[in-house]
Amino acid sequence: MADKLPEKNDVLCLLGPTAAGKTGLAVELCQHYPFEIISVDSALVYRRMNIGTAKPDPATLNAAPHALIDLVEPWESYSVSRFLGDVESEIQRIIQHNRIPLLVGGTMMYYHALWFGLSELPESDSNTRVRLQQRADEIGWQNMHERLADIDPVAAKRIHPNDPQRLLRALEVFELSGVPISTLQQRKPPENYRFFNVGIMPADRSLLHKTIAARFEQMLTEGFEREVDGLMNLPEMHVELASMRCVGYRQMWDFLADNCTRKEMIERSLAATRQLAKRQITWMRRMENLHLLDVAPRIDDLRHVAEFNQLIDRHR
């Protein structure tokens, strides 16, 4: 196949909802283009979390290495700000080696921050503030400050535990946006790259739901329960960590802690994954300059590659 190469300083982005087949297509594309994959997935940054995150297996990583996976322990934080620094370093490295960065993943917040810079602070929400104030009344502002230190060490250093107004606002911003307040105010989008964005949009939502269910069943077969049990036995771990907000992990933790039945765990995990996919699709539908592949049931990756060639040709 005479593949048409993107130009220098082009950055290719492959987006799609969870379980849509992004990894398989990306690996296939690497056989046809001088691409190097950079993961854009907030779950894959965690070590020890392989099964529940659908992390590429060693054979896949050997065929097509992925940057930005296995960066931190599951009890450590990883911010959007750190992602921006890491991804820009990887983009530069790949371009300097005369290859093309291929960003692959479904963490839309990461993409948005890369393309447009970080957003302004969200408006205050009374319900969120009341909930946080009630929590502070229960555990005290010192413990609230320790929670801020877990999610936003930079803000925690400059906000004193005895400054409840600023502390409450910092926690509120994270609750509303999922992004540390210190991150939202400090980054600008890179100006020296041209982004070419390709999306996999499921033609049949029910088919995607079936794929999600089949993939979760496979995760259970591969030992997802054992994986989470191992995490629970680590002294640094607790259920309120950011890593345990990855879909499936909180639900499995609750099951292993006897807070729900196995059937309830499976139903809640599938519901959470479907909701994630819905949010990702909503993000994509709002995007401008997103080139959608014609995704039909059981379409093969080579067909995608042919469509990708046509998109590259039109893009140039």
Whichever domain contains 235, its CATH number is 3.40.50.300
User: Both 44 and 107 in a single domain?
Assistant: yes
User: Both 148 and 296 in a single domain?
Assistant: no
- Structural domain harbouring 172: 126-184
| C-alpha torsion angle, residues 55, 58, 64, 70 (rounded to 10) | 50
Is 2 within the bounds of a domain?
no
Domain stops at, among 136, 157, 184: 184
User: Both 26 and 37 in a single domain?
Assistant: yes
Q: Which two tokens stand for residue 61?
A: 């990583």
pTM (predicted TM-score): 0.78
In sequence order, which residues have a C-beta less than 8 Å from that of residue 194 and are 6 or more positions away? 7, 9, 10, 11
| CB of 49 closer than 8 Å to CB of 114 | no
User: Both 60 and 20 in a single domain?
Assistant: yes
User: Both 34 and 105 in a single domain?
Assistant: yes
User: Both 180 and 196 in a single domain?
Assistant: no
What is the distance between the alpha carbons of residues 281 and 295, in angstroms, rounded to a whole number? 14
**Confidence (pLDDT) at 2:** 41
Return per-residue pLDDT of the chain as tens, 316 residues: 345 555 668 999 999 999 999 999 999 999 989 999 999 999 999 999 999 999 999 999 999 999 999 999 999 988 887 899 899 999 999 999 999 999 999 999 899 889 987 666 788 888 898 999 999 999 999 999 999 999 999 999 989 898 888 899 999 999 998 888 888 766 666 778 889 999 998 888 999 999 999 999 999 999 999 999 999 999 999 998 989 999 999 999 999 999 999 999 999 999 999 999 999 999 999 898 899 886 554 445 556 666 667 666 655 5
Is 214 within the bounds of a domain?
yes
Residue with tokens 């990894």: 23
Is 169 within the bounds of a domain?
yes
What is the distance between the alpha carbons of residues 172 and 157, in angstroms, rounded to a whole number? 17
User: Both 159 and 42 in a single domain?
Assistant: no
What is the distance between the alpha carbons of residues 199 and 161, in angstroms, rounded to a whole number? 44
Total domain count, the chain: 2
Whichever domain contains 148, its CATH number is 1.10.20.140
Is 170 within the bounds of a domain?
yes
Domain stops at, among 165, 184, 203: 184
User: Both 114 and 252 in a single domain?
Assistant: yes
**Confidence (pLDDT) at 299:** 46
Whole-angstrom Cα Rg for the chain: 20
User: Both 301 and 261 in a single domain?
Assistant: yes
